[in-house]
Amino acid sequence: MFSGTIQAQSRETPAPAPTPTRRPFEWGSLIIGTFLIAALALGWVWREALPYTAEIGVGYWLGITGLSCVGVLLLYPLRKRAAFLGVFGSVPAWFRLHMFMGAFAPVLILYHSKFAVGSINAMVALVSMLIVAGSGVIGRFLYIRIYRGVAGKKEEARRLLQEASAFRELLNANFAEAADIAEDLETALKHSKRGLIVASWRAIRDSSLISSAQSRMISAVRTGAKQQRIKNSQRRELRKRSIELIKRYCESLRAAAQLEVFERLFALWHVVHLPLFFLMLFAAVIHVFAVHLY
């Protein structure tokens, strides 16, 4: 009886999710990021020795190239909303270009200015660009936490919750009390979507509920295992497998709760990032006009 249950569990239990590995794009981002950081460090150390000025020659064209990169940033949201532009590349490809230009443009502008500012409008343009670049880094972090590549991590969350439901059903085969605790936990975790503050508070509350339920389920399994009329070796195996199921089950619920918070943060980031970008663009245009007029 017991061995049949274990075999059924082995067939029905979803396999553990594979350990994430770095994709080529992630390795590329790491290499490019390292290169840009090194370029910034070297530029700062040798800023006094850079053999050009911002007004003419190499320094001038560094500024023009940096501003052109800023212009390219506008193409990603346009491509994302205009399906007819699909002939120019996929949305993921434009997203990667958007991130690269967002990191590359500030480096060019810093080299253009020789890591110094000579006027108020130049300072406003540079500071706004650095703020937008920092905002982009934050957005990238949130994006990674929510998605795998460009595909939504919502699908992963749904998969995790499906696994959680499967774990509960398997648990019920031997430990009804633990399964009841799991069912009560899922009911307690169901709530409508709210804003960031409420979602954050609920994530903290949910984490506490999950931890408490996990402890009670494990305790119920240990107590229930003693009541199983099976061999000691089988009892130990049953207890071990059931506790593993409980831990994976609770981990999947935690992942879903955390995902909601990051989704709210990402939505808030979108609200802030776009105005900052247009402020930077406006300051850059004013700076260019001021330079050429005076």
State the pLDDT at residue 272: 81
Instruction: Output the CA–CA distances (angstroms, integers) from residue 135 to 110, 271, 274, 286, in the order listed.
Output: 17, 11, 10, 22
Let me know if residue 176 belongs to a domain.
yes
Let me know if residue 46 belongs to a domain.
yes
State the pLDDT at residue 248: 79
Query: How are the residues of the chain apportioned to helix, strand and coil, as percentages rounded to the nearest 5?
Result: 80, 0, 15
The pLDDT tens digits of the residues spanning 34-43 come to 888 888 888 8
State the pLDDT at residue 196: 65
Give the domain extent around 56.
24-152+270-293
Q: Per residue in 113-132, is it b (16+ CB within 10 Å) or e — as a string?
A: bbbeeeeebbebbbebbeeb
- Three-state SS for 285? helix
* DSSP, res 86: G
Same domain, 160 and 219: yes
Same domain, 172 and 206: yes
Phi, then psi, of 140 in degrees rounded to 5: -65, -40
Q: pTM for the full model? A: 0.58
- Three-state SS for 88? helix
Counting the structural domains of the chain, the total is 2
Same domain, 140 and 277: yes
What does the alpha-carbon distance between residue 181 and residue 246 come to, in Å, rounded to a whole number? 11
Residue 277 in contact with residue 271, Cβ under 8 Å?
no
Cα 2 from chain centre: 42
Measured in residues, the chain has a length of 294
Same domain, 255 and 145: no
Same domain, 145 and 279: yes
Let me know if residue 1 belongs to a domain.
no
Same domain, 123 and 189: no
Same domain, 129 and 247: no
Same domain, 280 and 137: yes
> Which parts of the chain sit beneath pLDDT 70?
1-26, 28, 145-174, 191-196, 199, 294
Q: Per residue in 148-159, is it b (16+ CB within 10 Å) or e — as a string?
A: eeeeebeebbee
Same domain, 141 and 186: no
Same domain, 29 and 147: yes
What does the alpha-carbon distance between residue 108 and residue 62 come to, in Å, rounded to a whole number? 6
State the pLDDT at residue 202: 76
State the pLDDT at residue 13: 44
Looking at the DSSP bridge assignments, the partners of residue 151 are 148
Let me know if residue 14 belongs to a domain.
no
The pLDDT tens digits of the residues spanning 45-92 come to 888 888 888 788 888 888 888 888 888 888 888 887 877 777 787 877
State the pLDDT at residue 170: 64
Q: How many CA atoms lie within 13 A of 119 on its CB side?
A: 13
Residue 289: which H helix or E strand, with range? helix 232-293
Same domain, 232 and 125: no
Residue 174's nearest CA partner among 230, 238, 234, 232 is: 238
